[in-house]
Amino acid sequence: MQTGHRTDRRVHLQWRALSLLMGIYDFITVAAAWFLALLVRFDFSFSLTISTSYFEAYQKFILPYTLFTVLILLMFRLYRSMWQYASFTELVRTLGASLLTSIVHVVGITLLFREYYPGSRMPVTYYLGGAMAQTFFLVAIRFFYRFIRHERQRRTLNRESLGRVMLIGAGDAGQMILRDVNLAEKPENKVVCIIDDDPNKWGRYMDGVLVVGGRDDILVNVKKYHVNKIFLAIPSANAEDKRDILNICSSTDCELKQLPGMYQLISGQLSVSAMKDVSVEDLLGRAPIQADMREVFSFINGKTVLVTGGGGSIGSELCRQIAAHNPKELIILDIYENNAYDIQFELKSSFPGLKLTTLIGSVRDSRRIFQVFDQYRPQIVYHAAAHKHVPLMEDSPCEAIKNNAIGTYKTAYAAMVHGCERFVLISTDKAVNPTNVMGASKRLCEMIIQCFDAKIKEGKAKELPQIFTHLGEENADKDGTGRVFQNIKTEFVAVRFGNVLGSNGSVIPLFKKQIANGGPVTVTHPDIIRYFMTIPEAVSLVMLAGTYAHGGEIFVLDMGRPVKIDTLARNLIKLAGFKPGEDIKIVYTGLRPGEKLYEEKLMSEEGLRKTDNDLIHIGNPIPFDHDLFLVQLEGLMETAYANKANIREKLMEMVSTYHPANISATQPAPEEQKAVG
């Protein structure tokens, strides 16, 4: 510690010494500047031609004037600037100080001269020459160090070890990035050419670097200038333009960086260090969804909220956004303790004032679910707990039914009898015309939600069976009077969306691991497509949809345009700095069991109704016999818990759009028919 103090003191003394030397320099050169003006006026012949009156006036005035000038320079903070980074601001301050003191000099020496020699004044060339010489001396010393440093950097930039950068964008952001590259303390890059789509800028220079053309000229100039890095500095560009430019850039071997957004430009925080790697989301070409969360705030504010599966990718993001909306209490329930611990630790650090409860438990455990609802009485439930991995659920279909369908039923039942206000099911587009067990189980979840809503609105909540629960403390109707089923107002809704980028089990983490291992990257089919959304986007819309609920709706989120998985894989390989098919091979493995080429967002007969938000729609409920469904569900549960092999046949009886084997994955399944009963 003492060594550090000595170092700081030494640096401080060095700075004070440099400031003192600068002050002495200013004192001497200011006096010399005005004397030089006299010499110039009289042809540098001091003894013969300079009038005694002029020299006496100069002698009497120059000492107080130089002291005054040093004081003004001190007031303008010109002894505290870091001149190795001198910029336009320091230049303006120096010129301002010199102009002010020159005016004082002209007025002061004129008044002094007329006091001794009425009706006369100093020569005009003295005034002009002195002011110009003083300004030159003051500016020269202050920018001399920057000039020397710039020259050293310029020579250093010619070394082949530095990155050769193509800068895309000759606007304000590009100029700031270029300046940051040129003024770097330890240069790592050199901008060798600039790309801009404005033809008026082509062939012109920005800080000495040529604007070589538009986006169509990227590839040829990468080769011409031996570019190995590309910096995208157009934060105001729309998503489609960025996608098109980045797709061109990704076909090169260059490292890609881009600015995060307009905020850094407006706040003046643009720098090379602020640039981020290009992500796969940038290559999707869809503008980020910006949801107005004010309705969510008023909905969640001051309420107790439960998130099942709160440690998963969707559940944890739900917890983050809920925590930011001032709930009375946030309860996280998850079966996997490591995930639950991670999100608990994160939220405690980010929201120290949050009342947070983290519980371990399974939605399949009736006693545990009843215990949680009885103790904490959540007013809002986001049900994200589910098995979601399609191939794994094909191998373990009974587990998908136990966890997804029966787990949803048990959680919904506990919510209903414990006074929950809103139950939001996280569903998936795989529930539409499912070809796999996971999708069929999620369609069952949606039907369960519709059953609960219908029975509650009909005043028949008592008819909902408390299936597969243990008689005892968790029994809803403990006293046998049925009063627990009176005045139930729980609203049940489902929110359906597609794949989320980077979620657990999604293709992107898998592709990244395969790329890191040197390949190959496995794609099931060259034509397979999926809808994608980022996790924060999906969760924001889930929460917003939950505020629109009146019960029974299936909300469908606008996922934008579908993306080819093959294109996604190739872009990830390019972003990692490799060439698809050469450095990293792509292998097509064929569609997996239960997988289809496309995902749909709703069934054809559901139709869509608009909400106040253009990104959220409501699928009109498909009618089905609720009583028959509930009877079939109990039978399905018994089949699942007995781990019987005929579970798929039972599923097909309940979800007629589910066709696991004899329907081609490339063809749409028949529409769901109304159940007979």
Got the DSSP string for 349-372?
HH-TT--EEEEE--TT-HHHHHHH
Contact residues for 665 (Cβ-Cβ < 8 A; gap 6+): 435, 591, 595, 596, 597
Of 675 and 50, which is predicted with more confidence? 50
Average pLDDT over residues 167-194: 81
pLDDT at 659 over 60: yes
Of 327 and 292, which is predicted with more confidence? 327
d(CA 126, CA 41): 7
- The superfamily CATH assigns to domain 160-278 is NAD(P)-binding Rossmann-like Domain (3.40.50.720)
Alpha carbon distances (Å) from 514 to 281, 313, 518, 523: 19, 21, 6, 11
- With tokens 């579970």, the residue in question is 647
CA 604 remoteness from chain centre: 35
Q: List the structure tokens of 349.
A: 């650090």
Whole-number pLDDT of residue 407: 95
pLDDT at 509 over 80: no
Asked if 311 contacts 334 with a C-beta cutoff of 8 angstroms, the reply is: yes
Beta-ladder partners of 609: 618
Q: List the structure tokens of 180.
A: 């940051």
Of 534 and 517, which is predicted with more confidence? 517
Ramachandran sector of residue 603 (left: φ over 0; alpha: ψ -120 to 50; beta: rest): beta
Asked if 276 contacts 231 with a C-beta cutoff of 8 angstroms, the reply is: no
At residue 635, the 3 state secondary structure works out as helix
At residue 295, the 3 state secondary structure works out as helix
Least confident window among 117-131, 195-209, 453-467: 117-131
Asked if 402 contacts 640 with a C-beta cutoff of 8 angstroms, the reply is: yes
**pTM to 2 decimal places:** 0.62
pLDDT digits (tens, 9 = 90+) for 415-432: 999 999 999 999 988 888
Mean pLDDT of the chain, nearest integer: 80
> Does domain 297-474+484-501+532-560+600-654 fall into CATH 3.30.565.10?
no
d(CA 523, CA 502): 17
Whole-number pLDDT of residue 355: 95
Whole-number pLDDT of residue 670: 34
At residue 253, the 3 state secondary structure works out as coil
pLDDT digits (tens, 9 = 90+) for 216-232: 899 899 989 988 888 88
In sequence order, which ranges of 278-336 are alpha helices (DSSP H)?
Answer: 280-284, 294-300, 313-323
Rg (CA), the chain: 37
Give the pLDDT band (50/70/90) at residue 46. Answer: low
Whole-number pLDDT of residue 264: 40
% of the chain beyond a pLDDT of 70: 79
Cα-flanking dihedrals φ and ψ of residue 652, to 5°?
-65, -30
Average pLDDT over residues 502-526: 79
Other residues' Cβ atoms within 10 Å of the Cβ of residue 398: 18
Beta-ladder partners of 166: 193, 230
- With tokens 């050199």, the residue in question is 190
Q: Do domains 160-278 and 297-474+484-501+532-560+600-654 have the same CATH topology?
A: yes
* Domains in the chain: boundaries: 2-155, 160-278, 297-474+484-501+532-560+600-654
pLDDT digits (tens, 9 = 90+) for 9-40: 665 667 777 788 888 888 999 999 998 888 88
pLDDT at 665 over 70: no
Whole-number pLDDT of residue 50: 60
Other residues' Cβ atoms within 10 Å of the Cβ of residue 244: 14
Asked if 617 contacts 554 with a C-beta cutoff of 8 angstroms, the reply is: no
Type of residue at 252: T
Most confident of 105-109, 190-194, 344-348, 459-463: 344-348
d(CA 542, CA 309): 15
For 79-117, letters b (16+ CB in 10 Å) and e give: bebebeebeeebeebbeebbeebbeebbeebbebbeeee
Least confident window among 195-204, 257-266, 590-599, 661-670: 661-670
Other residues' Cβ atoms within 10 Å of the Cβ of residue 140: 11
Q: List the structure tokens of 157.
A: 């930039």
For residue 61, which of 27, 105, 29 has the smallest C-alpha distance? 105
Whole-number pLDDT of residue 103: 93
Asked if 469 contacts 475 with a C-beta cutoff of 8 angstroms, the reply is: yes
Asked if 245 contacts 222 with a C-beta cutoff of 8 angstroms, the reply is: no
Type of residue at 621: P
d(CA 584, CA 573): 7
